[in-house]
Amino acid sequence: MYLGEIVEIAPKERLFENPLHPYSQALIEAAPIPDPRARRTRLVIEGDVPSPMNPPPGCRFHTRCPLPSNRCRNEAPALREVTPGRVVACHLRENGNMEKLARS
């Protein structure tokens, strides 16, 4: 969930293996790894969290998303089933685009 809206629903194994919403990806990559020698790149979320009382128009995450489009800024994405049992609210995931976002 982000600002009170569900952004992704998936079986936990699939969510952790390949998060499809940029917010889900950033949350999972922010979790600490128990091995102090392990290194990984992360999708860094920049900016401040908008007010939940006055959320931005369009996708609520677009102000912090690394790849927002004009559509994201103006049209809220609907929750859509992208594969069986996998639901995501992201314009980037339409038309079968299942790739992970580039990491910083």
Q: What is the pLDDT along the chain (104 residues), one digit of tens a residue?
A: 999 999 999 999 999 999 999 999 999 988 888 888 887 777 778 888 899 999 999 999 999 998 889 999 999 999 999 889 999 999 988 766 656 565 54
**Nearest one of 91, 98, 49 to 72, comparing CA atoms:** 91
Is position 101 within any domain? no
Helices (H), 1-104: 12-17, 22-30, 70-74
Residue indicated by tokens 């102000």: 63
How many structural domains does the chain have?
Answer: 1
**Which tokens hold the place of 73?**
């800024």
Helix (H, G, I), strand (E, B) or coil at 20: coil
Structural domain for 61, as ranges? 8-32+39-96
Characterise 74 by phi-psi region: left (phi > 0), alpha (psi -120 to 50), beta (else). Answer: alpha
**pLDDT in the model for residue 36:** 81
What is the model's pTM?
0.84
